[in-house]
């Protein structure tokens, strides 16, 4: 772990990976979205105006190929990139899969810590943690934590933020 400077924590690569089940969750979400799009294209082909059959078939095939590639590649790639770490001085996150983003929130700047889990995340045993600061870049969101780990992280960050001497504004 890299220590912070006198000016504050140093932006660096976080050390913790997400829960491995996040790959399955992202795969199911991506597949469902692409299947909805393919279903809409299929309905368009069946009930749309006559003509342009070859164009519709080509669009359907292109969507199927793009959807399969996205569904097969994105979840594991995203898993390799996404990381988080709650060091004593700050929360570090790294997200993205096409565009990588690293963020840092000094504990003294934390305003709120929230958890959320939708029905599909509940099926996979996952929970998201959102940490809000006064940053114009918006909150830091850690998606794909195991439920127990997420609740422990939220409690720990909340407690450390309350004990911080600096004002979180």
Strand partners, 95: 101
Average pLDDT, stretch 107-122? 96
Each residue of 130-142: b (16+ CB within 10 Å) or e?
bbbbeeeeebbbb
Sheet holding 140-146, edge to edge: 112-116, 126-132, 140-146
Residue 168 pLDDT greater than 60, yes or no:
no
Residue 1 pLDDT greater than 50, yes or no:
no
The reported pLDDT for the residue numbered 136 is 86
The reported pLDDT for the residue numbered 30 is 98
Strand partners, 128: 116
DSSP label of 161 = H
pLDDT digits (tens, 9 = 90+) for 69-85: 999 999 999 999 999 99
* pTM of the predicted protein model: 0.84
């Amino acid at each position: 772990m890299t220590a912070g400077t006198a000016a504050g924590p140093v932006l660096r690569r976080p050390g913790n990976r997400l829960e491995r089940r996040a790959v399955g969750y992202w795969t199911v979400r991506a597949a469902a979205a692409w299947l909805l799009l393919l279903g809409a294209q299929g309905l368009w082909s069946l009930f749309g105006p006559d003509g342009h059959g070859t164009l519709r078939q080509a669009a359907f095939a292109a969507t199927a190929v793009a959807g399969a590639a996205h569904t097969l590649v994105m979840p594991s790639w995203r898993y390799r990139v996404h990381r988080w770490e709650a060091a004593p001085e700050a929360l570090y996150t790294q997200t993205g899969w096409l565009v990588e983003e690293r963020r840092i929130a000094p504990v003294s700047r934390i305003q709120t810590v929230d958890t959320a889990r939708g029905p599909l995340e509940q099926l996979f045993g996952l929970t998201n943690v959102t940490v809000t600061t006064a940053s114009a870049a918006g909150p830091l969101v850690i998606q794909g934590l195991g439920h127990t780990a997420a609740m422990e992280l939220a409690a720990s960050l909340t407690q450390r933020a309350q004990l911080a001497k600096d004002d979180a504004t």
